Structure 1
């Protein structure tokens, strides 16, 4: 009787092991799909993270090890990091556009537009030179070799390049915010509630909202 019970338990453990393995494979596929699937028209980050949180809960019930879970989460964590870089890149681009608009408006309002026009042209030339200096053909590959903070430091304009000290201070504060949110996401293995709210609020077409917010701070 004891032998039969032992065999039954062994068989049950074998079945559980197979279920765990299948769940791990399925979870890995889900993470890869949500991380690297079509980037256009994808669900909000909050919606994607909600699905992944459910997967994590199921894996925890199956007692998947922390290391196995971290391996499964890794592709999505990398994509979160790239998303935050793209967010920073987009906001800074919009910031440059805001300043350019201000300079253009100054040309139209100036009694002697030649001086204002000169400042506008200078800004345009500085932006062009900066764009060539910081061009990133494959930021995903760059982020495999260096931290997000390191890559952002390379991307931020240098002092006197095309941002005033106040502008640069606002952008540095923004960078620190992005780096902190990403670090929290890496610890979690995906978006934190704070990070997902932030990303959905300011990504894509909403880059301009964050850029204007930062510009207003710089002008105070």
Structure 2
């Protein structure tokens, strides 16, 4: 027999010896000590030595508690009430840990669902199914709705952001169209190669065109990280907000606001359902460039 086998056998024997000794102390010596302490307390009380009887009685109570502490829900004696919940507390701690682990896991899963494979697979239907399973699990574990809402926040934010980007792309197309019109107008103010006279009507109009072009381009700028947060506040209507901020004029703005209103309604459905809906998915389209061109033609008949 090798040294490792001998060492393992010895360690196992020592472990069994300790367990046997502990079992002997708990099952025999502790009950015997409790009986002797109780007998001593009764004897001392019988001979009117109440102080010693009280000490012996307290010793009996301590031995009893030491042996049965894990099994007791409560104990009352000698005017003392002690709540003993070791086993129940351990169970509660385990359940709390499982809840916390489940919440963290769900947060990570929602985040992965939001970012995974942005080229189109898995499908939004698959994402919705997984999201529903997460929610059911968290509710079964008594996770609060507020915590669930916070866990799935990245997924909802990304879905709403995708919807917002579709409105933004159509808006950008119209802005670029208007900038091209302004550029052509500026070029037509004076014949090619002819210097523009400062102070002339043509010069004033050219300055207006330059300012409007600059304003439109600046109005289209946005911070994507900030928008991921802003798009969650549907009461402030981030869809119609960007259309109003750009301000294309009385001809284009009502048309674009109508398109943004449709997006806002779809966004409310996304928030309510907890994920991308079929209608919102159709609004965005599988090929975003083609859908943007189609929506633009439909809106402006061009």
Query: TM-score, normalized by length of structure 2?
Result: 0.51
Residue number in structure 2 paired with 1:158:
247
- The alpha-carbon deviation at position 143 of structure 1 amounts to 5.1
Counterpart of 1:46 (choices 110, 125, 129) is: 125
- The 5 A counterparts of 1:58-207 are 58-95=137-174, 121-122=184-185, 128-129=213-214, 131-142=216-227, 144=229, 147=233, 149-150=237-238, 152-156=240-244, 157-160=246-249, 165=251, 167-200=252-285, 203-207=288-292
In 2, Cα distance between equivalents of 1:82 and 1:52: 18
Q: What secondary structure does 1:191 align onto?
A: coil
Seen in structure 2, the aligned counterparts of structure 1 residues 123 and 193 have a Cα distance that, compared at 3 Å, is: farther
CA RMSD of aligned residues (A): 4.0
- The alpha-carbon deviation at position 41 of structure 1 amounts to 5.2
Matched residue pairs, number?
196
In 2, Cα distance between equivalents of 1:139 and 1:128: 22
1:30 aligns with 2:93: no
In 2, Cα distance between equivalents of 1:43 and 1:206: 20
Seen in structure 2, the aligned counterparts of structure 1 residues 22 and 41 have a Cα distance that, compared at 3 Å, is: same
In 1, Cα distance between equivalents of 2:172 and 2:220: 12
Which one has a bigger Cα radius of gyration? 2
Seen in structure 2, the aligned counterparts of structure 1 residues 92 and 20 have a Cα distance that, compared at 3 Å, is: same
CA contact (8 A) 1:87 1:204 kept: no
In 1, Cα distance between equivalents of 2:296 and 2:283: 14
Residue number in structure 2 paired with 1:20:
99
- The alpha-carbon deviation at position 204 of structure 1 amounts to 4.7
Query: TM-score, normalized by length of structure 1?
Result: 0.66
Which protein is richer in helix relative to its size? 1
Residue number in structure 1 paired with 2:14:
none
- The alpha-carbon deviation at position 80 of structure 1 amounts to 2.2
Q: Could you give the per-residue CA deviations for residues 103-129 of structure 1, whole angstroms, max 9, x where no partner exists?
A: 9xxxxxxxxxxxxxx788249979954
In 2, Cα distance between equivalents of 1:74 and 1:208: 30
In 1, Cα distance between equivalents of 2:142 and 2:153: 18
Higher alpha-carbon deviation: 43-52 or 19-28: 43-52
Greater RCO, CA 8 A, separation 6+:
1
CA contact (8 A) 2:156 2:270 kept: yes
- The alpha-carbon deviation at position 137 of structure 1 amounts to 4.1
Residue number in structure 2 paired with 1:115:
none
